[in-house]
Every structure is written in structure tokens, then in C-alpha cells.
Amino acid sequence: MARKELAKAYEPWDVEEKWENHWEDSKTFSPDPDGPGESYSIVIPPPNVTGVLHMGHALNLTLQDILCRFNRQQGKNVLWVPGTDHAGIATQNVVERQLKEEGLTRHDLGREKFIERVWEWKQEKGDHILSQIRRMGASVDWTRECFTFDDQRAKAVRKVFVELFEQGLIYKGDYIINWCNRCHTALADDEVEHEPKPGKLHHIKYKLADGSGDLTVATTRPETMLGDTAIAVNPEDDRFNHLIGKTAILPIVGRELPIIGDTYVDIEFGTGCLKVTPAHDMNDWELGRKHGLEVLSVLDEDGILNENAPEKYRGMTTEEARKVILEELDELGQLVSIEDHDHKVGVCYRCKSVIEPHVSTQWFVSMKPLAEKARAAVPADTQIFPEHWTKTYYQWLDEIRDWCISRQIWWGHRIPAWTCEECGELIVAMDDPTECTKCGSAKIERDEDVLDTWFSSALWPFSTLGWPDDTRELAKYYPTSCLVTGFDILFFWVARMMMMGLQFKAQVPFNHVYIHALVRDEKGKKMSKSTGNVIDPLDMIKKYGADALRFTLTSFAAMGRDIKLSEQRIEGYKHFMNKIWNATRFAMMNLPDEIPAVDFTQAAGLADQWILHRLEEVKASIAQATEEYRFNEIAQTLYKFIWSEFCDWYLEMVKPALYGEDEEAKARTQAVLWTVLSETMVLLHPVTPFITQEIWNVLPRPAGDDRSEDIATLEFPALRPACLNDKAVRDMELFMGVVSGTRNIRTELLIEPAKKLDLLIKTVSDEDKAVLEANMDLIKSLARIENITIGPDVTAPKASGAAVVQGNELSVPLTGVVDFESELARLDKNLAKLEKTMKGVSGKLKNPGFVNNAPEAVVEGEKKKLAEMEEEKTKLTQLKARLESVMG
């Protein structure tokens, strides 16, 4: 059979699709639950079916894939479950926009036809994100793909809802909720994003009913005063506590408001007097419940003033009502002042519309009992990495409020609750009832609402494994091993999964949670379309390949630190892929069709001993870094080993043996070269699966090596403690120091690379002398040296370049090599020219007219130019001093 060859150049697009299809077609990543090995499982954070791959996804997928591929190498039975989220609000919005273009609304279609239309969209476009996940090389089990709205997940959702209801943990009632006027649905607290916005603080005078004076309140929303039902002051505030128990007159409306005392009121904020509007403020709602206040809603579900407002305001928007109310207050002399006030405003996480607190009849989960279990489980059963997120997790659970789970949309799990029209009985059941369980009437009506999307995704770790059925997957892979996710859904998702896992499986859903950081642009700014700084991972894959993108993200994925990403960095790691490719091509040209068997414990050349020792250290470092989620150290360790040690040093040092006549030495070096290269590909595989698979597939093998041609199935390279050799490391460091020191002398003194030099080495020990003499030919070759003199009595001439390596003194005679006078004259000329240019730039930057009027980018450019010239001046000055010192 003809020997396999690598293409001359690495073209990732020729490689990636081939292996991506191979792994999926051969079901490489579809484990047998009854198979051997300790279980290791991960569930993919399900992306929305409306989504497209962004850089956060790319990072998340890369880190999960590293963990899964590494643990397969450890012999574990690994399952990585893929899937998508039905994304209720977002998906419904997409389809409703399509209908709007057709001149239709969902109500024109009706509920059933509209749901059919959404399913059609899902089948056509909803799996687009999955094809993009494939492009990243994710080693998921595609045979077990899940969807939060498929039949099995629907079965799990219904069971959880019914059981929580029967346990008294789900209830229906009137409560203040976050309401999106645009999406026309309730939102949970953590679905509300708070954005800083400029606003106004309005100071309004409320007269006391007994005529004894007045008090002033400060509010950012004067239009809600129409729903005021009290004034609150702090009982510890001596300015106002004597008013507690009295009443004030609500301006414009004329209604009397009780003045109540509560320590909740911030004495320092505003005026110290708080208008209480229980129907339109979350905190006021709690005050109202505590003090038994009336709840008066003056806004409808569209944000329009309703029948509870004075007649002249009905039908107005909040903005319209605010304008009219302020004008009227001003006319009445009760608008004291208006001042600028920056504050945070809640907006819908989907459509970004301003959220309106709204009292409504909704379904809720009672969270306190569930939260207590979830809190106690960390860190006893589940550890969070980085650890500082544990405090945030605790804080959210400690301050948790009941979760509003009903949504007023159609795309989602419909709430399994029916109300009897005859007797009012509420029926919650696993199977659809045909009649009232209390009076037997057939007139029962199902609740119109659907469940919050996060309700179904809270069950993801066990519903994806087949729960509530008793499946082999559930028995084998639950609890899952690790959850990799972003910090932004620590509350949306992670905490709720903890609660549901403990409630329904009596176990935490995962042993570890790794919270990865944000991927920002190269200046540290958050990527956004509006800013125009988004780096599209799919574009980067097309240009540089998935492996280059994955390696870049891994190399900067330090625990707890955001990633500053640029296209140049990805391009740089594409060069690293090329380096690996070219090094392999060199190795292939110097390897036989069958690799000879060699006993590595026997004596060998310094390069072989050293690289085998370093390989053992790299194995240990990578294993430990992966287990501790120090992903950046995995990439950095591999980069240094492959580029600097294997390519730059080892491959250069073994060329004499590979090209020489000593067949025994050649065979030994070939065996070491193949071993290091092949095992390095296995170590690198979790980070860069495609290039390593392509290389592994063409490498020759030793006789009897029957391992699979699929690198994804190979075990982590076995350890060889006998190859650890501290002496070889010290000897190699001496050798590299001598070569590097000599090269540095050449570079510092601007000696042409082609000019042959002499090297004198005054040694400090017979051992060092022996090492250097044994490798004299290599030193000559790598440092471009013509003659070397080594010994304890070597003396250097006066005009010499010098360096010290482990106490050994290196000298390069410079007489006849460097024209000192000409070189110093050239340096003086360059310094003078540089200083003249620097003076001009410095003067420009000291000119206020230039600094204040020129575009910022131009000013920054001049500052950068000056900094670069100052650095160049320092280098030239140091070189001049070095030459003068050499001349004596």
C-alpha cells in the first residue's frame, strides 16, 4: 500500500469537513451506557434556535470539547449531549415579524395554526446553529440531540409542574411582575436587564390634610403618582417621624394618603419622603403588602393610562401623561423642582423595551424552599470555578423572590391547568382532563399561558438523559460531571438547574461549574454590532480554520480573566498550525515506513534524552492544567514545547543523526522523533482536533501498533518515568545557553548572520567542558562558529563580545570582525537624526493648539510615534555603550 502523504501546505477547509463528517458518520462520540469506564458527562448549554454562533459560543464549545476529548483519553465513558432551546419569546417574535410582512398577525391564524407555522420555521431554519456548532469540531453525540420543546422534554416539564403544584411549590395568584409592553408577556426578575439612562428627579409638594403644612417627595416617574396609596417616611428621621399617622392630599386627584413609617425609606435619598405606588414599583409592592395598602393600577398591559386614572388622562401613554401632569403641578404651584438624575432602567432582555412593573394574575414557583437546598449544595457537592462566583451565587439565592413562570405567548409548553366554568375548580394534571374532578362538568377551560422557557431548560441535565423515564443514560451519566457556561446565566439557568436536580433527582445536576469570562475586542471593549467591533467566529474559521480559532481562545482563557481578542492573534496561531504541519512534513521525509522499536532507557544523544524528559513534563502539566480548568496553561505549554523546543531546537539538533551514516543512531533518533511527534499530536488533539487527526492518519507506525487511525479514540500517552533525566536538562540548558549567548552577541553588535566567528569558552568544571566538547559540532552549526576553544584556562582578547552561561564565560573576538570606528560614527549619525525627529514630534505634542484641535486618533498616533522613537533611541544608546566598552 502506498505511503500516505501530507499536502504541501495546510489548508484547514480541506481537512475539517472531511473529519467532521467522519466522526459523525462513524458515531465516534456516541458512547454505550453499558460500556466500560467511569462516566464523564456534559450537557451543552442549549443555544436558542433563533441564534447564530458568536464568539462566546465559540469559547464555550472549545472549552467543553477540550474537557470531553481529554476525558476520553483518560479511558472514561464520555457523553456530551447537544441540543437547542425553543426560546419562547425570541422565536415567536421572529415568526410574528414574518407574518407582519404578509399583513397578518398570529391572531389571524389562531393558536393552532400559528404553532404549526413556528414549527415550520424551526424545521427550516431553527437548526442553523447546530451546523455552526459542527464547524467548531464539537465532539458531541449527535444521535442524542435534544430540544427543549420535543416530546420527551415536554413529558418532563409536565411532570415537574404537576408535582411542584401538588407539593404547594407552584401557585397562581396576583402579584407584581415585570411586564414587557412590546412582547406582551411577564418576565422573571433575571430576564430584566438594567441599563444606565439619563433621567429627571421631580420634587413634588404634597399638602397635609389637616392644613398644618406639606411635605415634598422626589420621584423619577411622576405619572405613577395617580396610583399612589401612601407616603412613607423613616421612623428614625426626626424631620418627618412626627407626621406618621397623619394623611396627605394626593395632588391633582385629591385622594387622602396615609403617612406610614418604615425603615426601608432611605433618609439620604431625595427628600427623605417616599410616595408609595404598590401597583407600579416592586419595592412599593412589598411595602404595600407589609402595611396593608390598597393596590391601584393606573396602567394597562400596553402601558396606557386606564380607567383607574382620572378621566382626562385615560388613553394617554406614560410619556404623554407625564408631560400633562408636570404642567398641571406647575400651575398648582406643587412642582418644586426638577433635577438631572442618572439611574438604571429595566429593559426586556429580548426586545430592549422598558419594563413596566405590573400587577397581574400569574403562575409562580415558591423559591425559598428550593433555594435553601441549592445553597447548601455549594461547595459541599458542587464546586464553582472561579471560586469568587460562589459568593454571587449565594447572594442571589439569599435575596431570591418567587419565580413568575407564566408567559402570555403561544410558543412554549402550555401550562397543564384547567378551570371549571361551573364551580371554579382548578385542575392540574398529567393527562388532559375531559371533565371537572369536583363537579363532573365538561365545561373546563385550559389556561392560555405557556411556561417560561427557562422552566424547561432548568431540567436539562436530567431531561436530556431521558427523565422521567428510567433510562440507561440517566443511571450512567447523572449527575453530570461539569457545566461550562457564562456568568450571565448563573441565575437564569445554573441556580435553577441546581434546584430542580435536587428536588427531582435528590442529587446535584453537576459536580463542577466552570464560569468562563467574556470575549472582548483587543482594546477590552465588549463586542456589539452597534459598536462595530464584533469578530464573527464563522468568518475566522473560513479565513484561518477552526483549529487556529480554538487554539487562540484556549491560549487566552485564563480563569476569571476576560479575553482580549483580535483577528491578528487568530492569524498568528494559524501560523502555529503551519509550523506544526511543516515540522511534520520534515519528520515524514526522515521517517521510515515502519518505525523501529527502541529501548528509551538506553544511552542516547543529548537532544533525544532532553526532548523525552520534556515530553514527560508536558504530559504531567497538561493533565494537571486540564483537571484544574487552567485552559490557557494547556495552550501555552503546548505552544512553547512544539514551537520553541521541538521545532527550533530538537529538529535542528537531530539533523546530523538523521542525515548521517550511523544507522543505529539514525534508527534511534527516528524512533524518538516519531514518539515525540505522535504523542504530541495526542496531547494537542483536545485543543486542535482537525490538524492532529489529519497528521495522525498519515504517520507511519511501529510494528504491531494496531491503534485506530482515529486519534479521537486514543488514550492519553502513557508515562515513562525512566525518561525523566535532570542531568540531560542541565546539560541541554548549558548547550542552549552557549548557542543563544553567541547569537545574542552577533545580534547586539550587528554582525552579519553569514559571517563566521570564533568562540572562546572558559569553563568552570570538567563536566561542563565534556558536555560542550561532545556537542561542539552542533554548537558550530547552530551558532555559525568556525573555531571553538574550550577549557578552564581560556583567555579572551581585549576586543571581545562576552556573555556568561551557568558561570562559563563566552567570548567572541571582534578584531577584524567589527569596524568599531565606522560603526560608532554610524550610530552617532543615526542618533542625531532620530533626536531631531523626536524634537519635532515632541514640540507638536506640547502645542495646545495641536493637541486640542487635531482628531484624537491623530494625537494618539503622534504619541505612539514618539514612544517608538524613544525606545529606538534607548537601543542605539545601549549599543553605542556596548561597543565603547568592548573597545576598552
Before 386, cis peptide (omega within 30)? yes
Distant-in-sequence, close-in-space partners of 507: CB < 8 Å, separation ≥ 6? 381, 478, 479, 501
Residue pair 231/288 in contact (Cβ under 8 Å)? The answer is no
**Beta strands 757-762; 808-813: pairing state:** antiparallel
Identify which of 255, 254, 272, 271 has the alpha carbon closest to the alpha carbon of residue 263.
272
> What span, in angstroms and rounded, lies between the C-alpha atoms of 66 and 630?
11
The one-letter amino acid at 382: T
Rounded alpha-carbon distances, angstroms, from residue 728 to 49, 433, 467, 674, 869: 56, 79, 56, 20, 43
Task: State whether residue 404 is helix, strand or coil.
Answer: strand
Residue pair 326/222 in contact (Cβ under 8 Å)? The answer is yes
Residue 798 annotated as lining a ligand binding site = no
> What span, in angstroms and rounded, lies between the C-alpha atoms of 304 and 205?
25
Task: State whether residue 764 is helix, strand or coil.
Answer: coil
End-to-end CA distance of the chain: 68
> What span, in angstroms and rounded, lies between the C-alpha atoms of 85 and 46?
5
Please, what is the Cα angle at 14 between 8 and 17, to 5 degrees?
150
- Strands (DSSP E) contained in 366-472 are 383-385, 403-404, 406-407, 417-420, 426-428, 444-446, 450-451
420 DSSP β-pair partners = 444
Cell numbers for 189, please give them.
Answer: 426578575
> What span, in angstroms and rounded, lies between the C-alpha atoms of 479 and 168?
26
Rounded alpha-carbon distances, angstroms, from residue 31 to 78, 461, 472, 593: 7, 17, 11, 34
- Strands (DSSP E) contained in 570-629 are 594-595
> What span, in angstroms and rounded, lies between the C-alpha atoms of 365 and 452?
11
46 DSSP β-pair partners = none
DSSP structure class, residue 715? P
> What span, in angstroms and rounded, lies between the C-alpha atoms of 851 and 866?
14
* Strands ordered across the beta sheet of 444-446: 426-428, 417-420, 444-446
Identify which of 409, 367, 354, 365 has the alpha carbon closest to the alpha carbon of residue 86.
409
**Beta strands 146-147; 83-84: pairing state:** parallel
Question: CA-based Rg of the chain, rounded to a whole angstrom?
Answer: 36
Identify which of 809, 708, 718 has the alpha carbon closest to the alpha carbon of residue 765.
809
Q: Which residues are annotated as a binding site for ATP?
A: 529
Q: Which residues are annotated as a binding site?
A: 529
